[in-house]
Amino acid sequence: MRINDSKLLAAIGALGVEHKRGVSLSELTSLGIGGTSDVLLIRKHDTIPALIRLLKESATPHRFLGGGSNVLLPDGELPWLVLQLARQDPEVRFDGNNVYVDCAADLGRTVTLCAKHDLGGMEGLIGVPGSIGGALRMNAGAYGTQIGTFVREVKVYRAATSGIETLRGAEINFEYRHTSFAPDDIMLSVRLELPSKPYSEILQGIRICNEKRRASQPLNQKSAGCIFKNPPGGSAGRMIDELGLKGHHVGDARVSDRHANFFVNAGHASAADVLELIADVRRRVRERYGVELEEEVIVWR
Ligand code: EPU
């Protein structure tokens, strides 16, 4: 989606929002897949209500992109303008056991920074790629840790009210890879409360999680992490593996040899290739196990 209306562009510029023309979105996603679109880079949270109002008034379809690590974007020219939050300086602020984090901050770097302040609890999340905002929206989790456990307050742009609100942690439902946020809410910043722990102890936990991850996941290949959610009581990876589908591919979209619930871009995979592979694997799992796998990755349709 391109913006060519000069009045709209001037109004966007007046808000201090940066307009980037014809961005190749494959460079913004960990799968390395995605067509092109104009991107609006938001520098100040409080300009969002006015920006969204402008886009609505001009009937400009738009979507918000976070860290790009758990998303499958379509090929070609996208039918939406893409919104992103610019990184803030500073991104993280400490006050005792409270940590105030901007949602554009990188999750892994935040975990490490907290460790340096002797604040732990999030060791399991160390290798999860993506932004704090994306982690909040999906309630990112690994090795028994979920980010939702530590959330005390979230500042969010709520699409329903077109305003910025601060929600208390207790008002938000954090479930397995799902939260009560609406799809068009935009996470802005969060207050986490983390338990005190000596740096050396946290570092030890981080090392163990890194090793486990390196041993079981294709970290040096382009992927969006697990493609499917685990069905209740089951394991999507184990089922796909048992079906002998490691290495199975559609074009360059390939079921990882290392972890069968990771689909990797082994070259120049398109979104269409990944979607065909998803449909094929889902059909085979349904036929063999009678289980309908649900996507874990967010697919822009
Ligand atoms: N397994 C296989 N073959 C495979 C992959 C896994 O037999 O190809 C077996 C394993 O041996 C194990 C079981 O399946 O017995 C579960 O595998 P694993 O421990 O790798 O965990 P997972 O359930 O596949 C989940 C999360 C990961 C997270 C890990 C570690 C989901 C969908 N996946 O994977 O999260 O990193 O646990 O906690 O919940 C993600 O969200 O993108 C993601 C990768």
Atom of ligand 1 at shortest range from CA of 224: 42
Is the shortest distance between the CB of 38 and ligand 1 below 6 Å?
no
* pLDDT at residue number 133: 98
Q: Which residues of 114-146 are buried (b: 16+ CB within 10 A; e: fewer)?
A: bbebbbbbbbbbbbbbbbbbbbbbbbbbbeebb
* 224: its two tokens: 């969006």
* pLDDT at residue number 244: 98
* pLDDT at residue number 235: 98
- On whether the CB atoms of residues 180 and 172 are closer than 8 A, the answer is yes
Is the shortest distance between the CB of 129 and ligand 1 below 6 Å?
no
User: Which parts of the chain have pLDDT scores under 50?
Assistant: none
Query: How many CB atoms are closer than 10 A to CB 168?
Result: 11
* pLDDT at residue number 257: 98
Q: Say how many Å lie between the CA of residue 237 and the centre of ligand 1.
A: 6
* pLDDT at residue number 259: 98
* pLDDT at residue number 109: 97
What's CA 128's distance to the chain center, in Å?
10
Q: Say how many Å lie between the CA of residue 124 and the centre of ligand 1.
A: 13
**Element of type H or E holding 253:** strand 253-255
Residue 109 in 3-state DSSP? helix
Residue 201 in 3-state DSSP? helix
Residue % of the chain over a pLDDT of 70: 100
Provide φ and ψ at 62, rounded to 5°.
-145, 155
* pLDDT at residue number 53: 97
Is the shortest distance between the CB of 261 and ligand 1 below 6 Å?
yes
Is the shortest distance between the CB of 229 and ligand 1 below 6 Å?
yes
Q: Say how many Å lie between the CA of residue 235 and the centre of ligand 1.
A: 7
Is the shortest distance between the CB of 235 and ligand 1 below 6 Å?
yes
Q: Say how many Å lie between the CA of residue 226 and the centre of ligand 1.
A: 8
Is the pTM higher than 0.85? The answer reads: yes
The residues that bridge with 163 in the sheet, in sequence order, are 158
* pLDDT at residue number 126: 96
Report the alpha-carbon distance of residue 216 to residue 237 in Å, rounded. Answer: 11
Can the peptide bond before residue 90 be classed as cis, meaning omega within 30 degrees of 0? yes
Is the shortest distance between the CB of 127 and ligand 1 below 6 Å?
no
